[in-house]
Structure 1
Amino acid sequence: MAENTTITLKQFGTPVARMCEVRVDARPRLHLGLLSLHEGAFRKNGGIGFAIEGPVAEIEICESSRLVIRDDRPLPMATSEQDILGEILEQFALDHGMARRGAIHISGGMRTHVGMGSATAIRLGAMEALALLNQTHISTERLIAASGRGGTSGIGINTYFNGGLVCDLGRPSDGGPYMPSSRTMPTRLPLALPIVQMPPWPILLCVPRSIVPKTQQEEIAFFERTTPLPATASFEAAYIALFEIYAAVAERNYHAFCRGVTLMQETAWKRAERAEYGKTLHVLSMKLLDAGADCVGMSSLGPMLFCFADPSRITAIAERAEALGCDVYRTSPANAGRSVAKADA
């Protein structure tokens, strides 16, 4: 569970920013894989992943007579998703006695439905901004609980506040089916191991333009037909997460980390996720490796791929990815959570 409940309020004073009272810049995360998905599991789900510096979602709030959401990112949320966010924020305000409503403006480069964790980051950011607009202190635990996120994965709810590498041990199994976060209302939040600081290894994000991201309904259908997995599949994924990836980051061992990322791609769950995109994604991964990447992985249910490589090769790999039809973002691991700012008084 995220421990950082302290918010550092910075001042911002650009002409646009002065129009709004609070801004939250939420970072994305990469999710490397779920871990415990077998029948009869003592703990379900779990996972491993880490925060990255960008592209961020910028969430600004200005006082308004009613709650309004405008998503001006190049690829915004669907209208139905904005409506759901609005309903959650309205209920959040009512539950905590908030009198002021806000016009929420979402901008920035964070993508939706490609594997960046935008649903969790934007929801938490909008809720935190609304609470700050009302000068209402909400603890980390209450904020997460009110968001309804974290039912399947504890990565995004931790990286939002703290950054770093998170190894999530899931939550006690309730005997229910395995479902994505969009359909899971957590009764208990996931248990996370101590967060580990990520070294500043360069990362390239590659979003293939020719692959259509999965909808929420397609993601639900994928869980229904793929789970439960054999127990041995969970044991393998958990071993790789702990003894390969988590340990490698703690020891700052780049080559061991890349080996762990590669091995996680071959686990039963990750193979099933990648198979959703067929040969196209596999060929793209192979070409990125041929271009000099040390490891290539898919975040969440994709279709975004991420690459780690020596800094001297990043530019060449980026050019190759663009030639292969990808939107490319250069970034690095983040060891801090969201940043919060308020307008000049």
Structure 2
Amino acid sequence: MKIISPCRIHMGLIDMNGSVGRIDGGIGATLDHPNCEISGKESNEIEIQFSNSIINNTPEEDLKSLHDRIYHSSKNVLKEIGQEGVYLKVNDVIPAHTGLGSGTQVSLSTGKLTSSIYGYDLDAYSIAKLTGRGGTSGIGVSGFEFGGFIVDGGHSFGKSGEKTDYRPSSASKNVKPAPLLFRHDFNWEVVLTIPKIPTEEQVSDKKEVDIFKKYCPVPEDYVNRFCRLVLMKMMPAVIENNMESFGECINEIQGLGFKGAEVQLQNSTLKNLLKHLQNTSYSGLSSFGPTIYSLGDKKEIMEQSKEFFDKEGLDGEIIVSKGNNTGYKLI
């Protein structure tokens, strides 16, 4: 049995103010490529194998982290369904630390495949609880299950709420995944420009936790504007297939609320790359980056990305992808 799950671009957290009694909430979309692919079968113990391409192209520390994530995800699901082991071969993964949701997708893929091998039909939300995913953004969880453009409803906030402070998903392990508010097919092609950023300049783990503490709550005016753009412009634009209207929102929200903080915390090269691409396309930072996603003339976007890479002496990838509207595929 084999599972293939999509990556996701995370366009922004809607409300990191909390004055109405909820925080988080997210907008994003799933894409066909890059993706996560794992095959598996029954076993008496947990066995994990990686393809040669993953072994050869993944730093040792990241490979160990990936192994541990898969091991614990499978172990938690096996305990839930009353089984002892599973054999898993990881054929392909979404690049880690790029803002494309690699951690959530590999955890959910592991859980779904493990349970399915033994005939159990656990949904993404059940697996997310077992594997500790979706504690802040619900885009990865709902995207895994359904695909498409997603808006989630965040979490109750305050003394009696699900959350009492502002935290990233990595530090929100015991919070249930956010409810799905809106889902629609996402039919546009997207260019992913992924520059290689030094590890010390990447935003993850403790750095991410500290950023949430420092920049939240964000001013209510920013949240109000963000909400209006999502409800009255982005969602209708997706339904009406109006890329220009949707793209105008993408460009504007790069300076709004928590997304504005995410952008401003990037190094100057990445910020300049975003501005460079916005000259000829609709471009935004996915999560904490470094991936920049762009809508528009794909040939022009690729040329502009290559031009910037050459000018700045940057290494990286430029990937043309398209909306995924099915979520995971079990084969």
TM-score, length basis structure 2: 0.88
The alpha carbon displacement at 1:185 in A equals 2.7
CA contact (8 A) 2:36 2:106 kept: yes
Aligned partner of 1:159 in structure 2 is: 143
What is the alpha-carbon distance in structure 2 between the residues aligned to residue 284 and residue 138 of structure 1? Answer: 41
Instruction: Could you tell me which runs of 5 or more consecutive residues in structure 1 were left unpaired when the two chains were aligned.
Output: 1-21
Instruction: Could you tell me which runs of 5 or more consecutive residues in structure 2 were left unpaired when the two chains were aligned.
Output: none
Are residue 24 (structure 1) and residue 3 (structure 2) matched?
yes
Are residue 333 (structure 1) and residue 316 (structure 2) matched?
no
Which of 253, 265, 280 is the matching residue for 1:264?
253
Q: Which amino acid aligns with 1:149?
A: R
The alpha carbon displacement at 1:304 in A equals 0.9
Secondary structure (helix, strand or coil) at the match of 1:105 reads strand
What is the alpha-carbon distance in structure 2 between the residues aligned to residue 260 and residue 61 of structure 1? Answer: 41
What is the alpha-carbon distance in structure 2 between the residues aligned to residue 61 and residue 321 of structure 1? Answer: 41
CA 1:95–1:311 in structure 2 vs 1: closer, same or farther (change >3 Å)?
closer
Aligned partner of 2:217 in structure 1 is: 228
Higher helix share: 2
Which of 271, 275, 278 is the matching residue for 1:286?
275
CA contact (8 A) 1:164 1:196 kept: yes
What is the alpha-carbon distance in structure 2 between the residues aligned to residue 312 and residue 277 of structure 1? Answer: 26
The alpha carbon displacement at 1:327 in A equals 1.2
Aligned partner of 1:3 in structure 2 is: none
Which deviates the most, 234-243 or 312-321? 312-321
Q: Which amino acid aligns with 2:39?
A: E
Q: Which amino acid aligns with 1:226?
A: Y
Which of 50, 69, 81 is the matching residue for 2:29?
50
Q: Which amino acid aligns with 1:181?
A: S
Aligned partner of 1:190 in structure 2 is: 178
The alpha carbon displacement at 1:67 in A equals 0.9
CA contact (8 A) 2:24 2:136 kept: yes
Which of 58, 61, 64 is the matching residue for 1:75?
58
Deviations 1:290-335 (A, max 9, x none): 4x3x211000111111111224534524533553523111111111
Aligned partner of 1:313 in structure 2 is: 300
What is the alpha-carbon distance in structure 2 between the residues aligned to residue 84 and residue 289 of structure 1? Answer: 36
Which of 220, 225, 228 is the matching residue for 1:239?
228
The alpha carbon displacement at 1:168 in A equals 0.9
Which of 65, 70, 88 is the matching residue for 1:85?
70
Aligned partner of 1:102 in structure 2 is: 86
Are residue 120 (structure 1) and residue 99 (structure 2) matched?
no
Runs of 4+ in 1 over 4 A off after TM superposition: none
Aligned partner of 2:13 in structure 1 is: 34
Which of 280, 285, 289 is the matching residue for 1:298?
285
CA contact (8 A) 1:51 1:334 kept: yes
Identity %: 23
CA 1:312–1:283 in structure 2 vs 1: closer, same or farther (change >3 Å)?
closer
Secondary structure (helix, strand or coil) at the match of 2:26 reads strand
Aligned partner of 2:194 in structure 1 is: 207
TM-score, length basis structure 1: 0.85
**RMSD between aligned alpha carbons?**
2.1
What is the alpha-carbon distance in structure 1 between the residues aligned to residue 50 and residue 134 of structure 2? Answer: 23
Are residue 253 (structure 1) and residue 242 (structure 2) matched?
yes
Which deviates the most, 181-190 or 317-326? 317-326
How many residues are aligned here? 316
Are residue 180 (structure 1) and residue 168 (structure 2) matched?
yes
